[in-house]
Amino acid sequence: MLSPQIIDLLIKGLIDTLQMVAVSGAIGTLIGLPIGVMLAVTGRGELLQNFAFNKVMGAVVNMTRSTPFIILVVAIIPFTRLIAGTSIGTNAAIVPLTVAAAPFIARVVENAVREVDRGLVEAAQAMGATPFQIIRKVLLPEALPGIVAGLTLSAVSLVGYSAMVGAVGGGGLGDLGIRYGYQRFLPEVMLAVVIVLIVLVQIVQSTGDLIARRVNKRNLKS
Amino acid sequence: MITLTNIHKTYAARGGGAPVHALADIDLSIERGEVFGIIGRSGAGKSTLLRTVNLLESPSSGSVKVDGVEMTALSAAELRQARHSIGMIFQHFNLLSSRTVFDNVALPLELAGMARAEIRKTVEPLLDLVGLADKRDRYPAELSGGQKQRVGIARALASKPKVLLSDEATSALDPETTTQILHLLGDINRRLGLTIVLITHEIAVIKEICHKVAVMEGGRVIEQGPVFDIFAHPKHPTTRSFVDPVINRGIPDSLRDRLSPQPGPGSNPVLRITFTGAKATTPVISAISRQLNLDLNIWHGQIDEIQGAPFGTLVVEALGDQAKVDAAIALVKENNLGVEVLGHALPANH
């Protein structure tokens, strides 16, 4: 029912989508994870309480998160050009995706770290741990199940966002669905795109859940 | 070992009310090798006081000396170093759920930068000591409450501390497990000569393992001293309310109704004999009845053991004339027991 050319396009679209999600997810984590941890530990009554840092960083994160993604893509085109050398294509699309992913990931990491029992921090302090040791040996390992769940959520959101960058020539499955399925009236292409996206999101979610369960030692049966 | 001098801790109230005095005028001196208990109701400030010892709470004013070191004068790095020799255990154990039993006990050593092989040599004997060698690779979620606290104790001992702080360590445990954990702590105190400071709201914990006790209320220490003295002669009403259920000084109402302050026709004196630790060398009750030919009718009593010595009260009715009763009182006093005449029992009407 689908012609070989369309199947080729689907495969190419899937690869583009995977590439955009993976790269922006990875860079977004590299940026978002430390910011999230810093947001968590600089809050009121926390390990490294610092109102100024917390407020400023929180405001920056909120600014990015409150901008609708499609507006963000267009608004940061000069920045995208600076980084990627161009503002169209899959590589260029990775820039706005990363800019959207990093603060999102920062917030989910912040929440996961805040969930860690204060008593554990106190116990580590009583042992003479430095703040950095507490972050590395206590907060991050204990928050890991929550962080994995948050990263899974971020990856699923990125799959959705990646479909929008087609609007600026970003490529990927979303772009394929709009150009072929919608503009050329090929409902079977649209259907195929939707099915591939559903399967993709399912796989991402199940893998994330599996990893989160593996790293969670809190509810073991004795 | 630990000297707290004139400790005050004041919090500025939120929204500009009067400042809150969490701790006021606290002077405590804790000897090396002592088990020192701090008892108080919730909100009395005992948790804050315990945390001033390792400066998890820094006092607003006053001096905290541990093993001769003025803790409040240390830099952040020096304080971290000093904390290596002060272990701490917690009511809710505060174990890392992501680490196995072994790795939890190893944590303080990792933090101190000890080599892996060295850590192994330190942790394994500790797991033996607390009886958890077979749980080495289990996670905390797989353990019972008592086992978790044993891990907590092993972890606190890992860096070979001189002082162990115990923050309501048995309050989340059932009575049987509480007894086991207290025995373990007592054993550690004797074998390692470790100084233990514990806080609790349960007088049974004080009775079980403490040598000295301080009673707290409203951020102040209202009474302190050897456990025996406090149990035998509680001065403050709050102390009495803690101690009374244990030593049961009261008399049941049905007996109280028969008691009159003055002797009446056919009445007998009622004595309260108090066991306050000095060991009676003769079985005093049977000595009275045999030597003085005076029968004692036991009304009521409770004898317990504190720190290995008998402790409690016995209320008896002496069935004999005044001369014999006076002789009995003298005999009791000779045996270093306390005695007082509560009143006179009128004959039962029926």
Entry pTM: 0.83
**A222 part of a folded domain:** no
Using an 8 Å CB-CB cutoff, list chain B residues near A120: 94, 96
- Contacts for B199 with CB less than 8 Å, ≥ 6 apart: B37, B38, B39, B40, B46, B47, B49, B50, B166, B167, B168
**B51-108 tens-digit pLDDT:** 999 999 999 999 999 999 999 999 999 999 999 999 999 999 999 999 999 999 999 9
**A160 part of a folded domain:** yes
Widest pairwise Cα distance in chain B: 84
User: Looking at the complex, does the CB of residue A120 fall below 8 Å from at least one CB of chain B?
Assistant: yes
* Rounded-to-integer distance, Cα B149 and Cα B89, Å: 8
Q: Quote the number of domains for chain A.
A: 1
Residue of chain B with shortest Cα separation from A118: B94
**A116 part of a folded domain:** yes
Q: At A205, which CATH number?
A: 1.10.3720.10
Size of interface A-B (CB pairs under 8 A): 71
Using an 8 Å CB-CB cutoff, list chain B residues near A137: 107, 110-111
**Long-range contact set of residues A38-47: C-beta below 8 Å, sequence gap at least 24:** A39/A106, A39/A107, A39/A110, A40/A109, A40/A110, A40/A113, A40/A114, A40/A139, A41/A113, A41/A131, A41/A135, A41/A139, A43/A114, A47/A121, A47/A131, A47/A134, A47/A135
Inter-residue contact A139 to A199 (CB < 8 Å) = no
**A83 part of a folded domain:** yes
User: Looking at the complex, does the CB of residue B301 fall below 8 Å from at least one CB of chain A?
Assistant: no
Using an 8 Å CB-CB cutoff, list chain B residues near A129: 80, 111
Got the DSSP string for B250-313? ---HHHHTTEESS--TT-EEEEEEEEESSPPSS-HHHHHHHHS--EEEEEEEEEEEETTEEEEE
Query: B98 and A137 in contact by Cβ < 8 A?
Result: no
Which residues 100-159 of chain B have a CB within 8 Å of chain A?
107-108, 110-112, 139-143, 159
* Rounded-to-integer distance, Cα A71 and Cα B202, Å: 63
What structural domains does chain B harbor? 2-246 (3.40.50.300), 253-345 (3.30.70.260)
Reduce the secondary structure of chain A to three states and give it as a string.
CCCHHHHHHHHHHHHHHHHHHHHHHHHHHHHHHHHHHHHHHCCCCCCCCCHHHHHHHHHHHHHHHHCCHHHHHHHCHHHHHHHHCCCCCHHHHHHHHHHHHHHHHHHHHHHHHHCCCHHHHHHHHHCCCCHHHHHHHHHHHHHHHHHHHHHHHHHHHHHHHHHHHHHHCCCCHHHHHHHHHHHCCCHHHHHHHHHHHHHHHHHHHHHHHHHHHHHCCCCCCC
Q: How many CA atoms lie within 13 A of B118 on its CB side?
A: 10
User: Looking at the complex, does the CB of residue A218 fall below 8 Å from at least one CB of chain B?
Assistant: yes
Using an 8 Å CB-CB cutoff, list chain B residues near A133: 111
**A57 part of a folded domain:** yes
User: Looking at the complex, does the CB of residue B81 fall below 8 Å from at least one CB of chain A?
Assistant: yes
Query: B98 and A130 in contact by Cβ < 8 A?
Result: no
**A220 part of a folded domain:** no
State the best of B74, B78, B92, B98 to mutate against chain A, taking most chain A CBs within 10 Å: B98
Query: B56 and A120 in contact by Cβ < 8 A?
Result: no
**A221 part of a folded domain:** no
Closest CA to A165 of A85, A36, A64, A71: A71
Residue B265 CA, distance from chain mean position: 46
Domain housing A68: 4-215
**A34 part of a folded domain:** yes
Query: B107 and A215 in contact by Cβ < 8 A?
Result: no
**B156-172 tens-digit pLDDT:** 999 999 999 999 999 99
For chain A, 222 residues long, give each residue's pLDDT as a single digit of tens.
678 888 898 999 999 999 999 999 999 999 999 999 999 999 888 888 899 999 999 999 999 888 899 899 989 999 999 998 888 888 899 999 999 999 999 999 999 999 999 999 999 999 999 999 999 999 999 999 999 999 999 999 999 898 888 767 778 888 888 888 888 888 888 899 999 999 999 999 999 999 999 999 887 754
Closest CA to A6 of A200, A170, A187: A187
Q: How far is A126 from chain B (nearest CA, A)?
A: 6
> Measured between CB atoms, which of A127, A128, A142 is closest to B97?
A142
